[in-house]
Amino acid sequence: MFVRQHDNKAVLPGACGNKPAVFFIYCSMGREKRTKLSRVKENVKSNIVESLELPVDIMYGAVILTAMGRNQVLVENYKGIIEYTQEKIRLQTKTCQVTIQGKRLLVEYYTNEEMKITGYIQGILYDS
């Protein structure tokens, strides 16, 4: 396994080898009061996704993080950049916020669908 999770923090190990680590992160929107109808709709959607074996990232809008070693992260399904410094890049996704922490961080490119972050990656955090 490429990731160790602790206190909502996905931690990259020291040496990942040549294989990229891929994170599928689906964060809940919090513990809001849901009506019976919304729970039923959520269960129906979940059952359809599972029975048809549809991609979870597309159906739920989950953010996809592909880490290549400690020097590069490709982020898909993000909504916007909240904070951008050389030590921290915080992103808004459909369901949560993702923070990339490190040194000399740089957004090498971004489009409406994806972004490439380079630098020395020290950690990836996500909050609901």
Number of domains in the chain: 1
Q: How far apart are the first and last CA of the chain?
A: 23
pLDDT, residue 6, reads 41
- Summarize the confidence of residues 112-120 as an average pLDDT: 94
Confidence (pTM): 0.62
Q: Of all residues in the chain, what percent carry a pLDDT higher than 70?
A: 65
Q: How confident is the model at residue 23 (pLDDT cuts 50, 70, 90)?
A: low
Range(s) of the domain holding residue 62 = 4-127
CATH number, domain of 48, equals 2.60.40.2000
- 48-64 pLDDT, tens digit per residue, is 767 777 666 666 678 88
**Range scoring the smallest mean pLDDT among 30-44, 65-79, 95-109:** 30-44
The span from the CA of 109 to the CA of 91, in Å, is 14
